[in-house]
Amino acid sequence: MTAAAPAGVRFHHGAQAVPAGPVHTTPLGYDRDGIPVGAPLPLPASAELVRRMSGCGQIEVAFEGKLGDTLLALSGVRAVLDWLRLCSVRVAVRAVGPYADLSARAGLVTRPQAVTPSGWRTVIGDRSGIEAHGSETAANLVLDPAAPPCWSSDGRAHVGLPARHYLAMERRLGVRLPGTPPFAATLATRPNPLVAKLRATGWLNDLTLAAITATSWPERKDYTDRRYIELAEHIGEAQQTQARLLLIGGNSAGGPRITTEAPRRHAQVLRLDGVPTADLADLFPHCRVIVGNDTGLTHLAAMARSKDSGCPPVVGLYARHSHSKWRTGLPHHHAVATDLSERMHQGDLCPVRDALVPDTELHMDAFLPATLARLCLDLLTGEAR
C-alpha cells in the first residue's frame, strides 16, 4: 500500500499481472500467444462435447445460485459463444432465471427470432440452473467455481475466475479463442430513475462513495456500517468537504428501502437496502470510489461500465479467501488482503473447500478505516500503485 498499513495487510493493484513462478498453477499446455485465433490447440478437444455443440441451435444461460459466482462465470458463456462464431454455428441465445438481465447486459443474449431455431438445446449455467432448466437437452455445461484451476501460460498466472472459466472452456473445445486477459464480462448501464432521483437531490456529487455492506457471512465478512462511515469521514476531512456515502445493503423485508442518517461533519450517509441489482449496476459508475467485502455486489460494481462515467476504482476487502481468484481481473478492481488471503492466493486454496481452519481470529478488523481512507485518496488522485 502507498500509505502505512498494519502488519499483514497488503494492497494489490488491479492492473498488476501475476507472474506464474511464485503461485501454485496448472500449466495451460500451450503457448497461447503463439497460436492464431481459430487455430486448433496442440491438445485433444473433448470430442463428444464438440460433436454435441456443433449441432446446437439453442442455448439457454441459466444461473440460479450466488450472484458473485454467476458474474465471474459469464466469461465461460462468452467462450462458448466465441467458439460457435468461429465455427460458423448459428444459435439463438436466451437467458433465464434471476440473472437474465445481467446476461443481457453482458451482451450474451441474441434478439428474439421469428422462426424457432433448429438444432439441439444446450444449457450453460451453475448446478442449480442446470437442475432447473437442463432437462431434455443435448448438452449441459456446468460452470463450477471450484472446478477450473489457476492456469499459467507465457510466464503469467491467470488467477481470476473469469480467466479460469474462459481458458478451461477453450481447452475443452480445442480451438484458440479470441478472448484476451482479463476475460471478464462487463455490464452495460442504462438510464435509470433511481440514478436520476439521486442526482436531482444532490447525492451524486463530486465526492460520492459507495460501500457494500451486504454479505451472506456477516460474522466473517461484514466490515460494519460504523467502519465505513469512519472511512468516509476521513476522506471528507482530507478533501475539506462533506463526502456522500451510499451504504449498499442486501435484501430487506418489504422490498427496497432508502433512508438517510443525521449528517456528520465530514460525511452524509444514505442507506440503500434491497435495491435490485439492475438499479445498482446503473448506479455504481456514478460513484467516485467503491469499497466492499468479497461479495457479489462488489464484483457487480467492478463490472458495471458506463459510456459517460467510465469505471470508478473498486476496492475489495479480503480477510480469508484468495484475493486473486475472487476478483474480476479488471484493472480498476483492486484488493486489500490479509496474510491469510495471500496464502490462499499463493497456494490456490479455499478455507471452505479445503476445510482449512484459520490460524487467526483477525478478520475484517485488520482493515483500519484510516488506512483504507488513505488508499482511496491515492486511487482518486492516481497515486496508488
Domain containing residue 210: CATH number: 3.40.50.2000
Task: State pLDDT tens for residues 34-86.
Answer: 999 999 999 999 999 999 999 999 999 999 999 999 999 999 999 999 999 99
Beta strands in 54-118 (DSSP E): 56-62, 92-96
Say whether both 220 and 172 belong to one domain: no
Say whether both 263 and 295 belong to one domain: yes
Please, are residues 290 and 210 in contact by the beta-carbon 8 Å criterion?
yes
Task: State pLDDT tens for residues 201-215.
Answer: 999 988 999 999 987
Calpha distance 297→328 (Å, rounded):
12
Say whether both 51 and 179 belong to one domain: yes
Say whether both 122 and 69 belong to one domain: yes
- Tell me the C-alpha to C-alpha distance, in Å, between residue 13 and each of 20, 226, 313, 335, 352: 17, 26, 10, 7, 26
Its pTM stands at: 0.94
- What average pLDDT does this structure show over 136-146? 92
Say whether both 178 and 214 belong to one domain: no
Average pLDDT, the chain: 91
* Domain termination residue (choose one: 130, 165, 185): 185
- Whether the predicted pLDDT of 2 surpasses 50: no
The pLDDT of residue 3: 43
Strands 333-338 and 314-318: parallel
- Whether the predicted pLDDT of 158 surpasses 60: yes
Q: Which residue has the higher pLDDT, 341 or 219?
A: 341
Domain of residue 252: give its range. 9-16+188-381
Q: Is residue 23 part of a domain?
A: no
Say whether both 221 and 318 belong to one domain: yes
- Whether the predicted pLDDT of 95 surpasses 60: yes
* Domain termination residue (choose one: 128, 162, 185): 185
Q: Which residue has the higher pLDDT, 248 or 116?
A: 248
Which grid coordinates belong to 45? 478437444
| DSSP line for 190-234 | ---HHHHHHHHTT-SSTTEEEEE---S-HHHH---HHHHHHHHHH
Residue 45: half-sphere exposure toward Cβ, Cα within 13 Å: 18
Say whether both 195 and 239 belong to one domain: yes
- What average pLDDT does this structure show over 235-255? 89
C-alpha torsion sign, points 291, 79, 55, 49: negative
- Whether the predicted pLDDT of 1 surpasses 70: no
- What average pLDDT does this structure show over 179-203? 95
Angle between helices 67-86 and 161-173 (to 10 degrees): 30
- Whether the predicted pLDDT of 360 surpasses 90: no
* Domain termination residue (choose one: 131, 152, 185): 185
Calpha distance 229→237 (Å, rounded):
12
Q: Is residue 212 part of a domain?
A: yes
With residue 34 as reference, give the H or E element that holds it. none
Q: Total domain count for the chain?
A: 2
Beta strands in 274-326 (DSSP E): 289-293, 304-305, 314-318
Say whether both 151 and 265 belong to one domain: no
Say whether both 351 and 216 belong to one domain: yes
